[in-house]
Each structure stands twice: as structure tokens, then as C-alpha cells.
A and B are shown apart, each in its own frame.
Chain A
Amino acid sequence: MNTSCPPGSVRSTDIVVDLTGTATSKLRESGREGVRLAVANGTTCQLRPLAEAADSGSQVPAMNEQWRASLVELLSATKVDRVVLIANGHDPNADHLQGQLAGAEIETTTIRWPEGVDANDFVSAEDSEAVTERLRQLGYI
């Protein structure tokens, strides 16, 4: 089941999967306890208390096949009521994970932050010059 809810309804038995890298501290400010997903070496999933994870400043890295597989393994070995997925308004990684969780019949609540359009939504600075040249060749700019 996939639903949307405000962050205040996060429960202590949830696994909070924060794909934004910023949402955990906001949850903590709301006074909620819980656990947070952390990823060691970019490959292995671990569960940490939400406060500890927030204090450590650790961030969930961009999803890859290794830790996606590790997450599914972790969930199957852990008593988890629900996964709370926190993502920016449109994040294909979140869509993909949401689909995987739904397929595994794991209750999932997705919280999406409203978003603007910032520099991260565009071609990276190091690629801009090459893109400029390609677009110029085709007369687009």
C-alpha cells in the first residue's frame, strides 16, 4: 500500500528511508523517534536510531543495485511495520524503490517534499560546456 502523509505521522516502528539527505533532521525536530536507514560503503544497509543517524550527519547515498538488494534482504529479516520513504517531489529512485516495496507487499508511506527547480536538476557544471557545444551545432542555442 502506498500512501502520502505529513512527516508528523511517522511511527517509532517505521524504517525511515531518507532519499533527500535532509529530511531526517526535520523528522527529529518534530520529536518523533524511529530508525533510519544507513548504507555502509554504499552497498550494505543498516538500521540506526534516528537521532544517532541525524547526529552523525550521515547521508543515504544515491541508490544503486547493491544497496537496493541489501535493503530488500534487510527488510525480510527485520520486524518492520512500515517503510516511510522520504523523497523530493520527483525522484526516479524513490519511484523505483516504491515499486519494489509494493511488489514485496511491504507497507510503504511516501512523503514527498514540494520542490523547486535548482541547479541539481540540470546538467552538471562540468558537462555544461560540452552540452553547450552540442546544442550550438544544432542551432538550439
Chain B
Amino acid sequence: MKPAPSAFILGIDGLPSWMWRQFADENVMPFSRQLLSTGTLVPMQSSLPEVSSAAWASIVTGLDPAGHNIFGFTDLIDGTYTLGFTSSRTFKANPFWQRNDGRKHLVMNVPQTYPAQPLNGTLVSGFVALDLPRAVYPAERLPLFEGIGYRVDADMTAIEVSKDKFVDDLHRVLSTRVAALDELWNADSWDSAMFVITGTDRLNHYLWEDFEDPNSPFHQRFLDFYREVDRAIERIVSRLPDETTLLTVSDHGFARQRYSVNVNKILHDHGFLNLSPSDRPSYVDMTPETKAFAMDPGRVYLHRRDKYPNGQLDEDRAEEVAEDVTQALAHFEINGRPIVERILRGRDVYQGPFAYRAPDLILMPAEDIAFSGRMNLTELVETTPINGRHTFENSTFFYRGQADVEIPRPMRVENVLEVMTQAQALPAAA
């Protein structure tokens, strides 16, 4: 058997810290009960916004979005209204496996790492990876993944057939992912390994209502998937000696979603957003009169003259408009309840060379609310099969190691590498 890595980061996408504790205590995840008694579990704060692409980028770089340049799954290309989809090429900071520290890394299924970029080690990309050959580095590893039927993500169309088929597929994907980890673990020696389970996020999005309702016919299927995740955790941890530093992290918490609210519809109805007529409305249809617009999930941008081709908003009026938008959104209600818990200013949140690309306002949703930024303005509350949403609070951070470390309070996704460094499981960044 090859020597174990000195550091192992186990990612469980969308796992709230309270849920892990609850499932451990209730014996849904019996191995986790044992594991949690050997280390420290604390709730962690996600990135702003609390979206997987930005949060995982923060976990692996130690920076906020203004440092690594990932503010969401979509962004506008500088100086244009063209919508771009973020990828590994959008990263403007090194993940820890690209620090050229001489260490050999195994990186599996970390979101936002597609297409795979060179590293000293092996990487298979996570969501949103489109095809396996471009998701694997080095290419010589491709046959290994193909040989076990590895898939980078579940078949999301299965949810349209039935929840049963969807959960079946999540199990299949998890099974091949763990098998691939086993094979790579046996095939080589690694200084560090990072392995992310993403089926938990998919399950939480579509079956959250079934988790909350013990009488749902799918309640047990929800719990059974977490039972399978627990077995995967056991399989991994049982291979790790006590000397290996183990971190278990998630990128955001989760909660019930009842309403998906289109922020652009609100901005339009309050006169902040104006679109030229179009069959497929998009950002390019914004008229010069537009003062503000939103992007997923709750990012609001002022239509500034110095940033956008048709922007008419000068710096001396930006503060006034930001305040007007804040007031409009803060007082907006659905069914007599506010949709916003609080609104943050980008200038107060972000630090880094790409702060100029940051949203001006970040909306923190109220209970039951999720935000979208569609330019199709026909619906304020959109119909969606999704019934679970991300939360900024209560993602998971668990530490088990021999070194005494000081876990920051509040713990944030940007602090994960700092704790690894404290534990001497990762050299300090140059």
C-alpha cells in the first residue's frame, strides 16, 4: 500500500454543519458520529455570494472573490454585455496545488476546475465539466477514469423522470467517484489529496422538502444517500493514519426554498432597469437609462459609465442610486414578508485586485427566498422544481490533526488554507 498523504481535504458540497451533527447523533451517519468525536466541528461562513463556484475557489486559494476573480457561475466579460461562464481559466489566483512547492497533489471533483490545468499530480475536474478528456490531467490518467465509468456529475435530467431515478443516479456517481479515488490512491503516492462529493448538493436542491417532511415517500431515500456518504467517509478515513491532517469542508449551508425571486423584475418595476424589446432578453438589451441590474444569485451592479458601454451613471451619483436600490429591495415583500434579510455593499466586502469587478450590492435572502437574475422579466416568482437553497451561514468545517490549531471565529471559507498551514499540512504561500 502506498503511503498516505499528509493532508486530506474531504469536500461535501452543500452539507450544513448542523445536519452532519444531527445525522451523526441520529445514527443516520454512524461512522461520522465516531469521527466527529476525534476532532473539531464548527460552522463556517460561505463566500459572498454563497454560490459553489465562488466558495470552492475561496477554499482552495484562501482568497475572497476579489482575489481569485470567481464571483459566480456567470459574469460579464469586461467592457461588454456578453455573458461569460466561469471556468478554471477565470481563476486569477493559484489553488494550493499550483504553488509549485514540490508537493504532489491528487485533486478530484473540485468545482470550477474545468478544463483541467497542469499541476504536479493528477486532477479530475468537477462541476461544470462537460467531457472527461478535458477534465483529466495528465491525459495518461484518462483510461483509468474511463475504465471505471467515471462521471463528473449526475444526470440532472433524471429528476424530470422521477426522484427515484435521480437518487439512483446520485448513488452511481458517488460509487464510481470513490472507486476512482481508491484506484488513484493505490496507483501512486500523494503529498496531499482533495476529494469532493457533490451529490449531496444535488440531493439537497431537489429533495429538501422530503428531508423536512418525515411522511414524504422520499424521506428515507434522502437519509439513505447520506448513509452512503457516511460509508464513503469511512472508506476514506479508515485509510488515513493518525498523522494525516484531515479537513472536512462544505462550501455553503442549505435551507428550504419556497420562492425563487427574479431581482431584475423588481429592478425593472422600480424603474432601475430598462430593456429594449427582444425575443430573448439579455444584458445587451439594457438601455442607457438602466441604472442597476442583477446577476445570479443576488449580485446587483450599478450601470456605471466607466464600466459598461452604455452606462450613464457617473461616480458622483452612484452612492445615491445604490441607496435608492437598497431601499427598494429592502422594503420589497412577498406575501407580506420581506425578501431580503440584509444588503451588503461590495466595497465593504471585497479585497483584492479584482474588486473592480465585484457587485455593488450583495443581497442576503430572507427565509424561504432564493434569488435569480434572469433577464426574462415575465415572472417575479419563478416556477422551479428546486426546493432547497444555499445559505451563507452553517457550511461545515471539521479539523482532525495532531497539531494544535487556532480556528478563526467566525470561520470562513477563505480561512481553510490558513488552518492547513497552521497544522503544517501545507507550506505557507510564497
**Could you tell me which A residues sit within 8 Å of B by CB distance?**
63, 65, 89-90, 92-93, 95-96, 98-99, 102-103, 115-123, 127-128, 130-132, 134-135, 137-141
Task: Give the distance to chain A from B373, nearest Cβ to Cβ, in Å.
Answer: 8
User: Is B403's CB within 8 Å of the partner chain A?
Assistant: no
Note all chain A residues with C-beta closer than 8 A to B94.
Answer: 90, 92, 95
User: Is B185's CB within 8 Å of the partner chain A?
Assistant: no
Note all chain A residues with C-beta closer than 8 A to B51.
Answer: 140
Task: Give the distance to chain A from B376, nearest Cβ to Cβ, in Å.
Answer: 11
Given A130-B130, A140-B296, decide whether A123 and B98 contact each other with a Cβ distance below 8 A. Answer: no
Contacting residue for B77 out of A65, A96, A122, A134, CB 8 A: A122
Establish whether residues A132 and B91, one from each chain, have CB atoms under 8 Å apart when the complex forms. Answer: no
Given A123-B87, A131-B130, decide whether A137 and B118 contact each other with a Cβ distance below 8 A. Answer: no
7 CB < 8 A contacts A-B: A95-B94, A116-B78, A117-B77, A118-B77, A118-B78, A122-B90, A131-B130
User: Is B73's CB within 8 Å of the partner chain A?
Assistant: yes
Establish whether residues B85 and A117, one from each chain, have CB atoms under 8 Å apart when the complex forms. Answer: no
Within 8 A of A (CB), among B76-126: 77-79, 82, 84-87, 89-94, 98, 100, 102, 117-120
Give Cα A72 to B241, complex, Å.
37
Contacting residue for A137 out of B130, B157, B370, CB 8 A: B157
Give Cα A140 to B295, complex, Å.
10
Establish whether residues B77 and A119, one from each chain, have CB atoms under 8 Å apart when the complex forms. Answer: yes
**Could you tell me which B residues sit within 8 Å of A by CB distance?**
51, 69, 72-75, 77-79, 82, 84-87, 89-94, 98, 100, 102, 117-120, 127-128, 130, 138, 153, 156-157, 159, 202, 205, 260, 296-297, 354, 357, 370, 372, 374, 384, 386
Establish whether residues A117 and B156, one from each chain, have CB atoms under 8 Å apart when the complex forms. Answer: no
Given A95-B94, A119-B82, decide whether A135 and B354 contact each other with a Cβ distance below 8 A. Answer: no
Given A116-B78, A135-B128, A139-B205, decide whether A98 and B100 contact each other with a Cβ distance below 8 A. Answer: yes
Note all chain B residues with C-beta closer than 8 A to A120.
Answer: 89
Establish whether residues B87 and A95, one from each chain, have CB atoms under 8 Å apart when the complex forms. Answer: no
Establish whether residues B86 and A90, one from each chain, have CB atoms under 8 Å apart when the complex forms. Answer: no
Establish whether residues A128 and B100, one from each chain, have CB atoms under 8 Å apart when the complex forms. Answer: no
Contacting residue for A141 out of B73, B98, B156, CB 8 A: B73
Establish whether residues B117 and A122, one from each chain, have CB atoms under 8 Å apart when the complex forms. Answer: no
Q: Which 5 pairs of residues, A with B, have the shortest CB-CB distance?
A: A99-B100, A122-B84, A137-B156, A123-B85, A92-B117
Nearest-CB residue, chain A, relative to B119: A96
Note all chain B residues with C-beta closer than 8 A to A116.
Answer: 78-79
Interface centre among A93, A95, A118, A122 (most CB of B within 10 A): A122
Note all chain A residues with C-beta closer than 8 A to B120.
Answer: 96, 99
Establish whether residues B384 and A139, one from each chain, have CB atoms under 8 Å apart when the complex forms. Answer: yes
Note all chain A residues with C-beta closer than 8 A to B93.
Answer: 90
Given A65-B138, A128-B85, A139-B384, decide whether A103 and B98 contact each other with a Cβ distance below 8 A. Answer: no
Given A92-B98, A131-B128, decide whether A138 and B91 contact each other with a Cβ distance below 8 A. Answer: no
Note all chain A residues with C-beta closer than 8 A to B78.
Answer: 116-118
